[in-house]
């Protein structure tokens, strides 16, 4: 088999979603770039095996996984939590962060500057953390920058091993 992707795995330009924030946002959680399921559904963390909503539920004291998407976002905003991604656009085959190529970053510094109550930026997974640290380099002292274990189903450690780091996010609310 050649090194070319199969037709169902074509390399395409993928774009992140707009940020979910408001003036009350104290904690911003940034992923890398939405996966294919999320892009198709036009929803953050739409893959049913992604643990994001379950990991964040103890932080907000509500079962986010049991809610519809719009209610999840409203609960996050009410809890002063925002969502975004560090990558604005990239080419990628499939959903793996390891396959991200030719990425253009989102303007994380500019967004942070518009959030007067922002205390911390948490990065969901190693790729988001690496890119996020590069983006925030000169502004790192203004916010706590937090590395989180990825909520992705591709990050194979169990949810129990991830939960402590995610629950600690409550300290910023």
Active site residues: 50
CB atoms within 10 A of CB 12: 12
Element (H, E) at 163: helix 159-167
Q: What 3-state DSSP class applies to 95?
A: coil
Residue among 42, 9, 28, 51 nearest 108 (CA): 28
Handedness of CA 165, 171, 172, 173 (dihedral sign): positive
Q: Which parts of 9-161 are beta strand (E)?
A: 12-15, 27-31, 81-85, 87-92, 101-105, 120-124, 144-148
| Cα distance between residue 80 and residue 100, in whole Å | 30
Backbone angles phi, psi at 153, to 5 degrees: -65, -15
């Amino acid at each position: 088999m050649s090194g070319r992707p199969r037709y169902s795995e074509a390399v395409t330009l993928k774009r992140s979603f707009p940020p979910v924030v408001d003036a009350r946002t104290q904690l911003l959680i940034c992923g890398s770039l939405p996966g294919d399921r999320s892009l198709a559904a036009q929803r953050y963390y739409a893959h049913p095996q992604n643990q994001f909503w379950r990991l964040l539920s103890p932080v907000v004291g509500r079962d986010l996984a049991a809610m519809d998407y719009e209610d999840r976002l409203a609960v996050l905003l009410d809890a002063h939590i925002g969502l975004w991604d560090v990558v604005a656009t990239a080419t990628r085959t499939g959903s793996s962060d390891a396959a991200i190529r030719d990425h253009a970053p989102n303007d994380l510094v500019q967004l942070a500057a518009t959030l007067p109550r922002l205390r911390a930026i948490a990065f969901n997974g190693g790729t988001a953390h690496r890119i996020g640290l590069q983006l925030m380099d000169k502004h790192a002292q203004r916010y706590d920058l937090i590395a989180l274990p990825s909520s992705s189903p591709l990050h194979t450690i169990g949810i129990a091993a991830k939960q402590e780091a995610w629950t600690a996010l409550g300290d910023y609310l």
